[in-house]
Structure 1
């Protein structure tokens, strides 16, 4: 164990990398929260003693005292440099990138208000705008805090994937003894024992034993696969009822799960980010604020006799009023309401940018097993060949036998029967079925291959449509006479049909990716009414298929629940995880459907579209008054003795903020 310290260092390094983005996000959220509350407390005396408050409320004039402006300046200096620091820093970064946006607009507005108000305190004729400065910083801090709280940190998808492999493997050493070793010590060529119900520790080949292996979480194959000597098995899949000895072929970076991890990582790194719509408004308002302010200053200085102090006051009014309070809340308020509304409807929004992008979805690609279907077997058809048997009688006999078997197909038949009878002399027919005595009759439930071996003819006319479908068919023999057949299939969710119908009505194309055979895929597609399907798709191919669909010009959402869906979920423009699926799918996705209902994809898109409409409405409410306010602040109506002061502009801002808040609360899922 001489390498323990190095291993621990490596693990810590990996842990640090995987959590760095998440911790950074949490740090910024906490920072905005702290700055907001401290700044808000400092703002209260600013509001009480501000000259603007005195103009609006007569009682406030009685609170004035000698040196009040110096007191306000000291408070606002703290507010400006402490509360306004994120915006001043953002202003510098945006200008460095030559991409002015919200931070630039806020930074210019608060800097102008602070510098101008400071000059007024030092003797420049005019009215300070400390009230406006403090409240503007408060509202913007609140907006960014609300916004960042709504953005979920990066998930731990890769750690979840790695955790699928067992921690310990049962290595067979010389002499046939079994020794438990940690997974990292397994090497290519080692023989390991896998007990019933355990996860297989690595990709390999069966060298001893026979069992069914559940690969649904890895490959999407809904039916547990019978494995014999010489068959390949995948690390992370679940062993069924028998013990296996496998020879390890691939470990570490070469293994199946490691390749999936690589695909997820690549897809996540390549995912594009959407830009907030408020940034566009902020960018234009920045140009208007700077341009309008400069033109106002030049006009009143050069072409009028009102003097520089008046011209400077007009310029400040324009530049401060151009940055509306409500703009900082227009989008975050809708985001907060939509996030809460979505959660109450079973939609968890992990990435807001993806949610905003969801309104543009043109194609939804569904995984089959566990998403469109329930992921477990159900009886779909019962056919009897002898008139003395009915559907219920056949199911009763078959279910009574199968209640003693652990095979998924047997469990489905037993579950479908309303009651079960006593069975004696139960025997398994290896690889073919089971038999026993029920009320003195020898009942067998067997596969088609058993009938072939026993040269028992199948009534083709009655059974042909089932034998050539995607369904699994078993036969029931009573006293060695063929009595009937039972067909089973992965049960399609009723909600799937409605979801596809509604999506198509919205003009969205519906597709399916599955690891199942073409017959299975066609049957599901026909039943649900899909536009397209892709069958026999391996996990490493799913992300490529998403890329192909994207290259056709579609904005693609992928909905899935398995580990095999993780790369595709990451590659899609919007990844949607079915909530009952694996942690890996959930951590890789942008949006999670808690209720495991495909109809929630419809609700998601409707909510995204409604949220976007509310954002646009709020941006109009937040900035619309500028059509009147900016010219009035610049002095266009001065000839009629109408001049909009920063104080009156603040009243308009407050009203628009209230309207935005009320409008956001009216958001609903139709």
Structure 2
């Protein structure tokens, strides 16, 4: 199994390392470029004139030193954007990289020509500061969304590293998992993970398959029962004959589903990129029109026309655009972290504002994923409900079965017992306060011919709950109903989402009766029961085909493909690492109400992004015509210094507005 997954692990580890390397690369380029920017600013004639330090800092060859420093910043700091521009051109999808590359290249080439003889202004300081701001913006952005999916790696980790194989001479030997072959017999001890898909050939136990199948109830296993690799063995030791390993195993099929969903998930352009496309068009067309008008219609010389053209094209790429979205992302990510949310995929977080349906996994998400006592029923006036529970809990305290543990923990009081005995597959018995107490399954009653006719018991059984019976001195005195405990917060979470106009649904591997009971209790719009793990992602697709934007919330391995398939995957943080790594957003707390909170934050964050982009690009409506010279006849011409002032103002406004998101949510 592990051997068959090594290739996928290496591929995903490589992707994560590449992403981390890119973050470090942007960080390094930013700091180095920033260091070189200071002398560029000091040596720039425009800055020297503004600060009135030209006489102090001017020297022969200063322009060539300025050219050299700027050349380094252009090629070293600007490399990611020039490379990104090349990639966007190859895919014919211009975006932010194209806009930045055009602005810095125009400023660099024009300024270089001016240094070597053309009359005009130098834009090297614009070039350097623009590169610094864009590097900072991309560094912040990539750092905030870092954490590419490691789902396949985490899935492989679920398998144990070794198996206890029974050799041909009858001896027991621990062997690496990849050495297992169909037909091998392995021993699985209590509490261990099943090493491969197979069939029980000796022994009895119960197995927790909830992480893989979503089935909340521990599944009893005896000779002839099928078992799934990576599920957890309960109280008994069993011998298992291996049937499937490697790519044929259940877990490997889940891995394939996750991979398939990851590859088919569409990557939408983010908001800033969409703005960049339009600004690129404006920059190119605005520059061309400006040059044409001044040369052909106004009869100006090439030097003047070029200066106006370059001013227009540089001003079109505002510094603030590089920070408009990343700053909001960084602030919203910090707010989310304080509230127990981890945003792993920004584009999905943006999509969350448009959600129309939220699908919840049942086990571990709407419910606690553990059995608990939900009903105590008296079948005799001799004992109170509390006494029935205390007697049953006292007996079950000495049993390792998950249902027994649930009953034992339901009572604060435990009475000393004598002569405890397990009834294999049927329950347990002991002497409590001198009385013979038996806690048994419905199968035991059928075996003994004991009939039970009780309306309350029929009701809880119709809800899919597990029922055990308590016999005291051979007479039926009570019954206890158990089920996967519904979280206290689930009902409120569903109500909040409904107020937001979002449909609430549930997917579960549990039976219809259990699903119907949970759905009714928490107020869901729809539920889908007995859904196999491999069908969960298909069910999400089916709901998406109704033209709904869908979020999936889950915590188990079986939820991973559905989390990736959904428009927004939300994982409960206390669930498996696989679910967490497959999700776009992780809820650290086991509180479904956080789903509504994260959607609300997504809506607020998106509004801030739109506002920031409006500030970042809005000044272009004024600056570009002025830079082009539409009011030249009135003596008004926007020079680079004024353009820089406008850029700085928009950057400050963007930063303050992003911070207001923090203030608004605290």
Deviation at 1:507, TM superposition (A): 1.4
Partner of 2:119: 125
- Aligned counterpart in structure 2 of residue 563 of structure 1, from 537, 542, 557: 557
| Contact 2:8-2:153 at 8 Å conserved across structures | no
TM-aligned CA distance change 1:96 to 1:246, over 3 Å = closer
Bigger shift: residues 114-123 or 556-565: 114-123
Shift of 1:418: 1.7
The aligned counterpart of 1:359 is 353
Residues 411-437 of structure 1, C-alpha deviations (whole Å, 9 max, x = no match): 111111121110111111222211111
Quick check: 1:456 aligned with 2:476?
A: no
State the partner residue of 1:574: 568
The one of 17, 32, 38 equivalent to 1:38 is: 32
Q: Equivalent of 1:506, from 500, 512, 524? A: 500
Post-superposition shift, 1:332? 1.0
Distance in 1, matches of 2:432 and 2:54, equals: 94
Show structure 2 runs of 5+ residues with no match: none
Residues 74 and 237 (structure 1), Cα distance of their counterparts in 2 relative to 1, 3 Å cut: same
Equivalent in the alignment of 2:158: 164
Residue 211 of structure 1 is matched in structure 2 by: 205
Q: 1:522 aligns with which of 516, 526, 529?
A: 516
CA distance in 2, matches of 1:22, 1:479: 64
Aligned residue number for residue 177 of structure 1: 171
Partner Cα distance (2:90, 2:230) in 1: 48
Q: Which residue of 2 aligns with 1:3?
A: none
Question: How far apart are 1:459 and its partner, in Å?
Answer: 4.0
User: Which residue is equivalent to 1:400?
Assistant: 394
Is 1:478 aligned to residue 472 of structure 2?
A: yes
Residue 452 of structure 1, CA deviation: 2.4
Q: Distance in 1 between matches of 2:521 and 2:118?
A: 78
Give distance in 1, aligned partners of 2:348 and 2:45.
46
Relative to structure 1, the CA distance from residue 169 to residue 97 in structure 2 (aligned partners, 3 Å threshold; closer, same or farther) is closer
Residue matched to 1:76: 70
Cα shift readout 1:218-275 (whole Å, capped 9, x = no counterpart)? 1111111111211111111111111111222211111111111111111111111121
Distance 1:268 1:8, change over 3 A: closer
Give the aligned partner of residue 186 of structure 2.
192
Structure 1 residue corresponding to 2:336, chosen from 327, 336, 342: 342
Distance in 1 of aligned mates of 2:665 and 2:613? 20
From 235, 241, 250, the counterpart of 1:247: 241
SS in 1 for 2:33: helix
Contact 2:4 2:247 in 1 (8 A): no
Alpha-carbon distance between aligned partners in 1 of 2:609 and 2:106, rounded to the nearest angstrom: 28
Per the TM alignment, residue 15 of structure 1 is displaced from its structure 2 partner at its CA by 4.8
- 1:274 and 1:357 in contact (8 A); partners too: no
Deviation at 1:341, TM superposition (A): 1.5
- Which shows bigger deviation, 18-27 or 530-539? 18-27
CA contact (8 A) 1:48 1:60 kept: no
Instruction: Tell me what 1:270 maps to.
Output: 264
Deviation at 1:59, TM superposition (A): 4.8
Shift of 1:298: 1.5
Deviations 1:22-58 (A, max 9, x none): 1221222222111111111111112223222233323
Can you list the C-alpha shifts for 1:594-640, whole angstroms capped at 9, x where unaligned? 11211111121111111111111110000000110000001111122
CA shift digits 1:48-89 (9 cap, x unpaired): 232222333235654333433222222111111211122222
Bigger mean CA offset, 610-619 vs 50-59: 50-59
Deviates more, 1:115-124 or 1:594-603: 115-124
Following TM superposition, by how much is the alpha carbon of 1:462 offset from its aligned partner in structure 2, in angstroms?
4.4
Q: Is the 8 A contact 2:466 2:483 kept in 1?
A: yes
Aligned to 2:194, what secondary structure does the other structure show? Answer: coil
Please give the alpha-carbon distance, in whole angstroms, between the structure 2 residues aligned to 1:199 and 1:342: 35
Q: Any conservation in 1 of the 2:2–2:177 contact (CA below 8 Å)?
A: no
Q: Is the 8 A contact 1:421 1:438 kept in 2?
A: yes
SS in 2 for 1:494: coil
Aligned length: 664
Match of 2:366 in 1: 372
- Deviation readout 1:318-361 (Å, 9 max, x if unpaired): 11111100011111111111122211111111222221222222
Which segment drifts farther, 651-660 or 234-243? 234-243
- Alpha-carbon displacement from aligned partner over 1:168-207 (angstroms, at most 9, x marks no partner): 2222233533232222222212222211111111111111
Q: State the TM-score, normalized to the length of structure 2.
A: 0.96
* 2:294 paired residue number: 300
Are residues 450 and 96 of structure 1, via their aligned partners in 2, closer, same or farther at CA, if it must alter by over 3 Å? closer
Q: For residues 247 and 305 of structure 1, do their structure 2 counterparts lie closer, same or farther at Cα, with a shift above 3 Å needed?
A: closer
Q: For the residues of structure 2 that align with 1:564 and 1:101, how far apart are their CA atoms?
A: 37
Which of 39, 51, 59 is matched with 1:57 structurally?
A: 51
Deviates more, 1:319-328 or 1:454-463: 454-463
Rate the CA distance shift 1:281–1:61 in 2: closer, same or farther, 3 A: farther
* Residue 17, structure 1, aligned to residue 17, structure 2: no
Who is 2:528 aligned against? 534
Alpha-carbon deviation of 1:485? 1.4
Asked if the contact 1:91/1:107 (under 8 Å) is kept, the reply is: yes
- Asked if the contact 2:536/2:562 (under 8 Å) is kept, the reply is yes
Residue 591 (structure 2) pairs with residue 592 (structure 1): no
Specify the alignment match of 2:91 in structure 1: 97
Aligned mate of 2:306, from 309, 312, 321:
312
Q: Structure 1 residues 614-623 or 284-293, which shifts more?
A: 284-293
**8 Å contact 1:606–1:669 — kept in the other structure?**
no
Q: Closer, same or farther in 2 for the Cα pair 1:452/1:99, shift >3 Å?
A: closer
5+ residue gaps, structure 1? 1-6
Partners of 1:469 and 1:514 lie apart in 2 by 15
Alpha-carbon distance between aligned partners in 2 of 1:102 and 1:468, rounded to the nearest angstrom: 58
2:277 maps to 1:283: yes
Q: Deviations over 1:490-549 (max 9, x none)?
A: 110111111111111111111111111100000000001111111111111111111111
| 2:5–2:156 contact (8 Å) kept in structure 1 | no
* RMSD of aligned alpha carbons: 1.9
Q: Distance in 2 between matches of 1:182 and 1:16?
A: 19
Q: Whole-Å Cα distance in 2 between the matches of residues 181 and 108 of structure 1? A: 60
CA contact (8 A) 1:610 1:669 kept: no
